[in-house]
Amino acid sequence: MTDPARDTDMREQARLVIVGGGPGGYAAAFRAADMGLQTVLIDPEVNPGGACLYRGCIPSKALLHVAQVLTEAREGPDFGITFAEPRIDLAQLRSWKDAIVTRLTTGLGSLVQKRKITYIQGRARFLDERSLEIDESGGKITRLPFKDAILATGSRPIALPGQPPASPRILDSSGALNPEEVPGSLLVIGGGYIGLELGTVYAALGTKVTVVEMTGGLLPGVDRDLVSMLKRRLDGLFADILLRTRVERLKEQKNGVMVDLVDRDGQKRTQRFQKVLVAVGRRPSSGELGLEKAGVTVDDRGFVQVDAQRRTSAPTIWAIGDVAGEPMLAHKATHEGRTAAEAIAGRKVAFEPRAIPAVVFTDPEIAWCGLTQDEARQQKREVKVVKLPWSASGRAATLNRSTGLTKLIVDPESERILGVGLAGPGAGELIAEGVLAMEMAAVADDLRLTIHPHPTLSETLMETAEELFPRHPGR
Amino acid sequence: MLQEVKVPEVAENVTEGKVVSILVSVGDEIERDQSLLELETEKAVVAIPAPFAGVVHEIKVGEGDTVAVGDVIVVLETDAKAPRAAAAEREAGEAAGRPEPQEAPEPAEEPEPEPEAPEPQEEPVPPEEPEPAAAPRAREPEPEAAAPASPSVRRLARELGADIHGITGSGPTGRITAQDVRDHVKRIVRSAEREVAPAWSEGAELPDFSRWGPTRTEHLSRVREITAEVMTRAWTTIPQVTQRDRADITDLEKFRRSHDRRLAEGAAGLSLTAVLLKVCATALRTFPRFNSSLDVRRKSLIYKEYVDIGVAVDTDRGLLVPVVRGVDGKGIAELSAELAALAAAARNKQIQPQQMEGGNFSISNLGGVGGTGFDPIVYPPQVAILGVSRAATEAVHRDGRFEPRLLLPLALSYDHRVIDGADGARFLRWICAALEQPWLLVMKGSTP
């Protein structure tokens, strides 16, 4: 088992231990504690928050807000207001962003205390299906027996094969969130949401951004009509978007990174960028946790396999969030965490969402939930699709942003809403209505007959539903 | 066959355009007029429709490319198999006409979401290549399998142990409400209660007998379980009365002995139960109410035009009741042989379940074991049962003096909802009289 030379203190058996303090782990801990379960939460950071708060959703949205302010200021001349060229103080920008992260994570830390959850700063490994060994931050090794455990260790960025070790020139998403300088040029490898969001930030700060994507389009898997709304803008914002292009080699030099690119015709060229951001995806953090000792089955992509209640193949161990499967989204983890905590408390619950929203926080934002048009086509499923371009929206016009689209995918017979797609500013906020509509099994008529405030972008959902109903000529 | 799709003339004086987005992928089966890509020209963004159906073989352009009228954009495989009639997507304009396909398969109420299909890989990725950076994927159970119910209603159903997909919704477009879930569960509970009532197995907890001495536990056999259930139902639902009488079978026994003496060596003798079967059959014909069943739900009495009688047989598996069919149409010798065969089959476990179904009346003869009398329990849905104990010679006062007579103790239990006391007494007296003066049997319908 463990090295006999090392002293291990035995902790008292935990009713529930949660490994990982991200949005899945802390949500599970709060729910469990609220139901009266004695709960232990383990995370390497001083406070809960996980990748989402420390290195993901929150810092990136802070930076994207800054990018938005810069972009809108530059559009001022359109309506007769011209600002001087902005002066960017990166140290101040970082400390503002870090203050947000600190405020939110200490807030979570005090909620943990208030609920009398035992918080252990450290890294845990399973010894078997009933006990953990914890490498605590003070250097102490302790052993913790438990009745139930929830695994919520999340995911981490994928590195390119053969990629030189992380350096100030070759960044992953975590590094890119702490800009030390505004590079003159940046190559973003990967046209997924992380690459496009961070690319947007750097482009707004003044960097010449090039995006390289292996497949034939940005945001693979998202309906093309939504993506095209974004691409029109990114074509102007980014120096270049290279589709169906592969990165063959990265070579770090004194003044930049030499990148070998191979385009779709097999043509090779070499280009120098001051910095490179690798954003080719994330993989579940399921290694080095002793899962094999605990009898937890992991699939070939590294995801821990779970049942509807999020229980793994080891009956005392549960898994939630990124480590338990796609989609790797914080809000999915939170819901799974609550479900697992309730199941452990003996409630008959299951993770059974009708829709999980996804948002890309670019400008314009892209958001969708439920069935996509692409999936309907692949499944040979008959659907009715109605689209409304935002050029018809008064609110969009007043925002100086008429590029946008609202789309409803409905069942052709019942007109029940099967999917919602949005592109445009605020799409991430608007999609919540689509998710609620799907969860409530709403039909298009329900959206049409619900009064939406005027003038807002939310009206486009009501008006798109209206498009489904016959118009009588002459009336 | 491979056919090329070229950029059509989208508008007057438009010679080229920029590919804004590609709407199909290689391998997609597409239909005629389905949009292939969006082209941005000087005038507008237009969708380029497929001029014919087929499977996308190759896409010749990329997003952002500038193409001229006549350039090849997509190559379609056109003879790949007849395009299937699904996946037709209707854009807003067409949808405004609101077509109502009548023949479309019912999409709702499928049992369970299919297991998540493997990701369609556009191109096989060699291991040394970077993986395409996917957008956050919002994948959830197939909506076609999704019952129209809100999250709180679905949770309620799960907590009550009901399958949401089996519940019919009363709301608009079949939406399932919390009340629908409760009503569904109530219906199930009610029908289950009807089926198991009375729950004989819900007895009180037993004390721990090991406090007083060692015990051994044996699980009930199926026969024992059924007997327990039926007897509980009989005892708790049938208000029954037992009428007792004794038949003087001195002469009958004399006849039976002499008959058996005439039989060949080894042949089966005439059994008293066979005689009782014949007598009871005639009695049932004479008193048809005893040959009926009570239909409580429809408040009616069902008279049977046939006479099938069950005979209780003691086996090592427990009490079995094989049924002799059409007793009134058979002679005593025939009945005697049939009864012997049925009893043997019951004891050898060769009896078929259908041979024990459908009796109208039962006879339980414990005379072989002994005893002076017992009260049998009516076997539902029958309305009467005859219990027979051991015959004994007693001193009977006849014609001014005591004579030794062989008396057979009989007990008739009957369902008092169907049969009145006087009828019960008359029925049993009729049987006694028939046993005492067997020739009365031929005078069917008369009261001795």
CA atoms within 13 A on the CB side of A467: 24
Chain A partners within 8 Å of B155 (Cβ): 349
- What chain A residue is nearest to B123 in terms of C-alpha separation? A215
Q: Are residues A470 and B97, on separate chains, in Cβ contact within 8 Å?
A: yes
Tell me what ipTM this predicted complex has: 0.74
Residue B103 has pLDDT above 80, yes or no: no
Q: Which residues in A lie closer than 8 A to residue B133 (C-beta atoms)?
A: 189-195, 213, 220, 279-281
Q: How many CB pairs under 8 A join A and B?
A: 219
Could you please state the CATH topology (level 3) that the domain comprising B240-442 is classified under: Chloramphenicol Acetyltransferase (3.30.559)
Does residue B135 register a pLDDT over 80? Answer: no
pTM of the full structure: 0.62
Regarding beta strands A170-171 and A155-157, do their DSSP bridges make them parallel or antiparallel, or are they unpaired? unpaired
Report the alpha-carbon distance of residue B61 to residue B37 in Å, rounded: 10
Query: Which of 360-379 (A) contact B at CB < 8 A?
Result: 360, 366, 368-371, 373, 376-379
Residue A348 contacts B where some CB pair is shorter than 8 Å: yes
> In Å, how far are A414, A454, B172, B364 from A445, measured between CA atoms?
10, 19, 11, 71
Give the CA distances from residue A411 to residues A319, B85, B110, B118, B382, in Å, rounded to whole numbers and listed in that order: 34, 16, 15, 24, 57
**A residues 254-313 closer than 8 Å to B (CB):** 264, 278-281
Is residue A70 over pLDDT 90?
yes
Per the CB < 8 Å rule, is B132 touching A214? Answer: yes
Query: What would the pLDDT profile of B158-182 be if each residue is shown by its tens digit?
Result: 888 888 888 989 887 788 998 899 9
CA end-to-end distance (rounded Å), chain A: 81
Token duo for residue A392: 């018809």
In this prediction, residue B192 carries a pLDDT of: 76
- Portion 42-101 of A in contact with B at CB < 8 A: none
| Set of chain A residues whose Cβ sits within 8 Å of the Cβ of B107 | 381, 411, 413
Q: Which residue has the higher pLDDT, B264 or B72?
A: B72
Using a CB-CB cut-off of 8 Å, the residues of chain A touching B165 are none
A14-157+283-344 and A170-279 share one CATH topology? yes
Q: A94 vs chain B: nearest CA distance in angstroms?
A: 26
A232, A306, A413, A415: which to substitute to probe chain B, counting the most B Cβ within 10 Å?
Answer: A413
List the structure tokens of A313: 């193949």
Q: What is the per-residue pLDDT for B208? A: 87
pLDDT for position B270: 81
- Rounded Cα gap, residues A39 and A30, in angstroms: 9
How many H helices and E strands in chain A?
A: 14, 22
Domain ranges of chain A: 14-157+283-344, 170-279, 358-466
pLDDT of residue B24: 84
CATH topology of domain A358-466: Enolase-like; domain 1 (3.30.390)
Residue of A nearest to B139 (CA): A327
CB-CB neighbors (< 8 A) of A192 in chain B = 132-135
pLDDT digits (tens, 9 = 90+) for A348-397: 999 999 999 999 999 999 999 999 999 999 998 999 999 999 998 999 99
B101 — pLDDT class (breaks 50, 70, 90): very low
Would you kindly state where each structural domain of chain B is located, as residue ranges?
Answer: 2-81+150-192, 240-442
3-state secondary structure labels for all residues of chain B: CEEEEECCCCCCCCCEEEEEEECCCCCCEECCCCEEEEEECCCCEEEEECCCCEEEEEECCCCCCEEECCCEEEEEECCCCCCCCCCCEECHHHHCCCCCCCCCCCCCCCCCCCCCCCCCCCCCCCCCCCCCCCCCCCCCCCHHHCCCECHHHHHHHHHHCCCHHHCCCCCHHHCECHHHHHHHHHHHHHHHHHHHCCCCCCCCCCCCHHHCCCCCCCCCCHHHHHHHHHHHHHHHHCCEEEEEEEEECHHHHHHHHHHHHHCCCCCCCCCHHHHHHHHHHHHHHHCHHHHEEEECCCCEEEECCCCCEEECEEECCEEECCEECCHHHCCHHHHHHHHHHHHHHHHCCCCCHHHHCCCCEEEEECCCCCCCCCCCCCCCCCCEEEEECCCEEEEEEECCEEEEEEEEEEEEEEECCCCCHHHHHHHHHHHHHHHHCHHHHHCCCCCC
Mutate: best of A172, A173, A214, A264, partner B, most B CBs <10 A = A214
For residue B332, what pLDDT is reported?
Answer: 87
Active site residue A335: no
Question: pLDDT at residue B95 above 60?
Answer: no
Q: Inform me whether the C-beta atom of residue A247 falls under 8 Å from chain B C-beta atoms.
A: yes
Judge whether A471 is closer than 8 Å to chain B, CB to CB.
yes
Q: Tell whether domain B2-81+150-192 is in CATH 1.20.140.10.
A: no
A23 at the B interface (CB within 8 A)? Answer: no
Q: Could you tell me the fold of the domain covering A14-157+283-344?
A: FAD/NAD(P)-binding domain (3.50.50)
Instruction: Give the separation between CA B386 and CA B375, rounded to whole angstroms.
Output: 9
Better pLDDT: A150 or B254 = A150
A228:B62 CB<8 A: no
Cβ distance of B136 and A329 shorter than 8 Å? yes
pLDDT tens, residue by residue, B382-420: 999 999 999 999 999 988 899 999 999 999 999 999 999
Looking at domain A170-279, its CATH architecture is 3-Layer(bba) Sandwich (3.50)
Dihedral of CA A154/A160/A164/A168: which sign?
Answer: negative
Nearest to B149 among A225, A418, A441 (CB): A441
| Nearest-CA distance A4 → chain B (Å) | 41
| Measured torsion, CA atoms of residues A347, A351, A357, A359, in degrees rounded to the nearest 10 | 100
pLDDT of residue B268: 67
Tell me what the pLDDT averaged over chain A comes to.
94
Condensed to tens digits (0 to 9), the pLDDT of residues B46-63 reads 788 888 888 888 888 888
- Phi, psi angles (nearest 5°) of residue A418: -105, -25
- Ramachandran area for residue A70 (φ above 0: left; ψ -120 to 50: alpha; else beta): alpha
Chain B contacts of A357, Cβ < 8 Å? 138
pLDDT for res B119: 44
Name every chain B residue with its beta carbon within 8 A of the beta carbon of A388.
92
Residue indicated by tokens 């003096």: B401
Q: How confident is the model at residue B200 (pLDDT cuts 50, 70, 90)?
A: low
**Predicted confidence (pLDDT) per residue in B288-325, tens digit:** 999 999 998 889 999 999 999 999 998 887 888 999 99
Nearest to A61 by CA among A472, A363, A370: A363
Q: Do domains B2-81+150-192 and B240-442 have the same CATH topology?
A: no
Residue pLDDT, tens place only, A80-134: 999 999 999 999 999 999 999 999 999 999 999 999 999 999 999 999 999 999 9
Known catalytic residues of B are 416
B313: Cβ–Cβ under 8 A, 6 or more apart, which residues? B319, B320, B321, B322, B342, B343, B346, B347
- A398: pLDDT strictly greater than 60: yes
SS (H, E, C) B311-342: ECEEECCEEECCEECCHHHCCHHHHHHHHHHH
